[in-house]
């Protein structure tokens, strides 16, 4: 059985949700909808919160758990935080940027979504650094 802290994975998942609410709400919500080219009304049209948030929670937990597998047991606070930040910036954000460039997406969208994942993975690392 893998030695991954389920508490750290759960805390990381919840922190990702809180960050997302702030990031795509009061912090960058207007800039994000403009960069995507949609209105808040379009987002709400046909929105199923149980399906969307439920699926997002499960995916977030899988991500956090898998990152915990990568970090290993008791990774140390500094290592976990730096590794989380590096994964967010150098793996996730650059992967998004690659796709977005080919899709012709705006630079603002790369910055907003890439920035979210950079901070999110830093929080995942922090969770495992403190609780793993």
**Is 13 within a domain?**
yes
Residues contacting 81, CB < 8 A, separation 6+: 122, 125, 126, 129
**Is 94 within a domain?**
yes
H or E segment to which residue 75 belongs: none
pLDDT reported for residue 54: 97
Confidence band, pLDDT 50/70/90 cuts, at residue 1: low
Q: Show the tokens assigned to 60.
A: 């977030």
**Is 25 within a domain?**
yes
Instruction: Return the DSSP state at 127.
Output: H
Q: Which domain holds residue 67?
A: 6-131
Confidence band, pLDDT 50/70/90 cuts, at residue 90: very high
**Is 1 within a domain?**
no
Query: For the chain, how many structural domains are there in total?
Result: 1
- Packed helices 77-86 and 49-71: angle between N→C axes, nearest 10 degrees: 120
- For the stretch 11-48, pLDDT in tens is 999 999 999 999 999 999 999 999 999 998 998 898 99
- For the stretch 45-55, pLDDT in tens is 989 999 999 99
Contact 130, 78 (CB under 8 A): no
- For the stretch 56-84, pLDDT in tens is 999 999 999 999 999 999 999 999 999 99
């Amino acid at each position: 059985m893998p030695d991954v802290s389920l508490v750290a994975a759960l805390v990381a998942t919840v922190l990702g949700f809180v960050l997302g609410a702030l990031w795509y709400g009061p912090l960058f919500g207007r800039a994000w909808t403009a960069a995507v080219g949609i209105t808040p009304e379009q987002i709400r049209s046909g929105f199923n919160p149980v399906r969307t948030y439920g699926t997002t929670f499960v995916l977030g937990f899988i991500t956090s758990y898998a990152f915990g597998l990568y970090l290993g047991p008791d990774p140390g606070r500094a290592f976990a935080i730096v590794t989380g930040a590096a994964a967010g910036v150098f793996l996730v954000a650059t992967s998004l940027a690659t796709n977005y460039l080919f899709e012709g997406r705006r630079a603002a969208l790369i910055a907003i979504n890439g920035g979210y994942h950079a901070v999110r993975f830093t929080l995942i690392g922090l969770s495992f650094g403190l609780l793993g």
